[in-house]
Amino acid sequence: MRSSVFFLICVAVAAGVFGAARFIGNDYVFFAGYVVLQFIVLAQAWNILGGYTGYVNFGSAAFFALGAYTSVFFHKSYPLPIPLLMALGGIVSGLAGLGMGYLALRLRGAFFAIATLAFAVVLQTLVVNWNYLGGARGAYVIRPESVWLIGNYVHYLFFLMLALAVLSITTARTIERSRLGYGFATIRDDELAAEACGVPTLRLKLIATTLSGAFMGMAGAPFPYYIGYVQPAAAFGLDYAVNSIAMPMIGGTTTWIGPLVGAILVAGLQQWATVTISSELGLLVVGLLLVGFVIVAPSGIVGLVRNYLSSPSPPPRVARKSEPADAP
């Protein structure tokens, strides 16, 4: 299927989701749905680097927070419409991804992962000590009550996150089927062999860190407007780092479907647990699911389904000699 056709199908599905949410008419659907959509974007973004090229990023929260604090900065200095803030958050986080990639991509495996974690810590320290952004106290962002055409502002934020989710899914799928996707796969499989085949591995990894960072930043930009009050502990929260890794791993990392399925399943479960049992249970749900999948299905739900579909069907049962051929 061509990418343009796939994009149009995604837009149609998104329109259906938005229409259905409006039809239900319960604001909680928009609040919870926003979080699920935000994690779809984060999971796709993480997967572009971690899944496609095999470089595990523990610093997702830093890119997300960078997007959120870009919004806070502009909200205080020069208020702009949210779509523009999302674009700016994407640019800032994308550039941060490029910079981090340039410094850290000569490392591999656990060393790269630790470097991304260190990047998040450095950035959080910077924000905590930057008074203009609210420092450790945090910053209030008072969102408007309503917006033209859509009405309720939370509905508007949901709509924007839905559009971003469509964009991230389409981008991930397009990459997967492109020359870039083959390059990413070779980096994941064997970097030395990739270079020997003419793949400019460093350049491709920088593209991956930039794209991944940009999408995370875009996902973080509307966050202050959604939550109304942003503080470093929330924006740099452990749940963003853990969820954005766990969701693709649970869904499957080699394809765009994996992060989508993982995010819907895990974020949906977390929202359900928050409402029915306790909000503290969210990370426990992720932890248990992750441990379970690592043991039972290391290639995620998509891998599990693929293995099931590609496994040869059992041979037809042959009647034993002692058994009459027409026995039931």
- Which residues of the shown chain bind other proteins in the complex (CB under 8 A)? 179, 182-183, 185-186, 188-190, 192-201, 254
Query: Please, what is the minimum distance in Å from the beta carbon of residue 188 to other proteins?
Result: 7
Asked if 248 and 143 count as a contact pair (C-beta separation under 8 A), the reply is no
Using CA of residue 18, residue 22, residue 26, residue 27, what is the dihedral sign?
Answer: positive
Query: Please, what is the minimum distance in Å from the beta carbon of residue 233 to other proteins?
Result: 38
Asked if 36 and 45 count as a contact pair (C-beta separation under 8 A), the reply is no
Rounded to the nearest 10 degrees, the angle between the axes of helix 238-251 and helix 257-276 is 130
* Nearest by Cα to 245 from 294, 204, 176: 294
Query: Please, what is the minimum distance in Å from the beta carbon of residue 51 to other proteins?
Result: 11
Query: Please, what is the minimum distance in Å from the beta carbon of residue 258 to other proteins?
Result: 13
Asked if 76 and 132 count as a contact pair (C-beta separation under 8 A), the reply is yes
Query: Please, what is the minimum distance in Å from the beta carbon of residue 108 to other proteins?
Result: 15
Using CA of residue 39, residue 41, residue 43, residue 49, what is the dihedral sign?
Answer: negative
Query: Please, what is the minimum distance in Å from the beta carbon of residue 184 to other proteins?
Result: 10
Q: Which residues make Cβ contacts (< 8 Å) with residue 103, sequence separation at least 6?
A: 115
Measured from the CB atom, is 27 or 190 closer to other proteins? Answer: 190
Residue 231 structure tokens: 């503080």
Distance, in Å, from the CA atom of 68 to the CA atom of 86, rounded to the nearest integer, reads: 9
Alpha carbon of 204 to those of 3, 109, 123, 147: distances in Å? Answer: 21, 17, 25, 40
Helix (H) or strand (E) holding 230: strand 229-230
Distance, in Å, from the CA atom of 130 to the CA atom of 133, rounded to the nearest integer, reads: 6
Measured from the CB atom, is 19 or 200 closer to other proteins? Answer: 200
Measured from the CB atom, is 192 or 325 closer to other proteins? Answer: 192
Which amino acid belongs to residue 85?
A: L
Query: Please, what is the minimum distance in Å from the beta carbon of residue 3 to other proteins?
Result: 15
Q: Which residues make Cβ contacts (< 8 Å) with residue 57, sequence separation at least 6?
A: 46, 49, 50, 113, 116, 209, 212, 245
Measured from the CB atom, is 180 or 264 closer to other proteins? Answer: 180
Measured from the CB atom, is 149 or 192 closer to other proteins? Answer: 192
How many residues appear in the chain?
328
Asked if 259 and 93 count as a contact pair (C-beta separation under 8 A), the reply is no
Measured from the CB atom, is 10 or 194 closer to other proteins? Answer: 194
Measured from the CB atom, is 195 or 239 closer to other proteins? Answer: 195
Query: Please, what is the minimum distance in Å from the beta carbon of residue 305 to other proteins?
Result: 17
Query: Please, what is the minimum distance in Å from the beta carbon of residue 192 to other proteins?
Result: 7
